[in-house]
Amino acid sequence: MLMAANLAANPAFHGQRDLTVGAAIALPEATPAPAQGENAQTVSFEVNGQRRALKLDPRTTLLDALREHLGLTGTKKGCDLGQCGACTVLLDGRRINSCLTLAVMHEGCAITTIEGLGSPEHMHPMQEAFVRHDGFQCGYCTPGQICSAVAVREEISRGIPSHVTADLKAPIAPSKDEIRERMSGNICRCGAYSNIEDAIVETFGGQA
């Protein structure tokens, strides 16, 4: 539980408490890194409920814009190849690997990072579930895992099928097979998968 307490105190847990996302929060103070070259472009988007405008090299990934220019370091750079899921954020409510997309492609979009989900004092229910079930060890992948898990809830509630959905016309049950399939893009090198699964199941009322 000491590890759980440490993770709960981590700055990666910032934002709102309910299962919706996108409420305005105070972003950390950060000095934007200057864009290099004469081809710098200005992009404006909403980050965790606040409108932000950045002047960026057009080759800057969304991940680097968040981490290096806005100081939102909860979103992690793992493989930088779109294979580990550590950089997962929510873009207009849908999850995306932020290392695989350019920031300038998302003019006017709404982006929610792990900092936009909950704070140590008011954790998002998914964060609380991860703490209760020890759904982490080193914690490096946890921000991406939680953002992805929040999106999984939304996908299932909207009836969006996955590869293992048997009946495309029936309501989708949050089975363990569904959760495993939908979370398969998020890698935990510590192997906390069973605890992550239990945490997500709990947010569905403990039935899977």
Domain ranges, ordered by start, for the chain: 2-13+120-203, 41-116
CATH of 2-13+120-203, one of 1.10.760.10, 3.30.56.10, 1.10.150.120, 3.10.20.520: 1.10.150.120
DSSP 67-116: IIIT--TTS--SSSSSSS-TTEEEETTEEEEGGGSBGGGGTT-EEE-GGG
What is the predicted pLDDT for the residue at 38?
Answer: 74
pLDDT surpassing 70 at residue 3? no
Query: What is the C-alpha separation between 186 and 142, in angstroms, rounded?
Result: 9
Mean pLDDT computed over 188-207: 92
What is the predicted pLDDT for the residue at 39?
Answer: 87
Mean pLDDT computed over 189-207: 92
The CATH fold of domain 41-116: Ubiquitin-like (UB roll) (3.10.20)
162-186 pLDDT, tens digit each: 999 999 999 999 999 999 999 999 9
CA neighbor of 175 nearest in space, from 150, 160, 156, 155: 156
Quick one: pLDDT band at residue 207, thresholds 50, 70, 90? low
Higher pLDDT, 205 or 142: 142
User: pTM of the predicted model, to two decimals?
Assistant: 0.82
User: Residue type for 9, please?
Assistant: A
64-92 pLDDT, tens digit each: 999 999 999 999 999 999 999 999 999 99
Query: What is the C-alpha separation between 148 and 95, in angstroms, rounded?
Result: 6
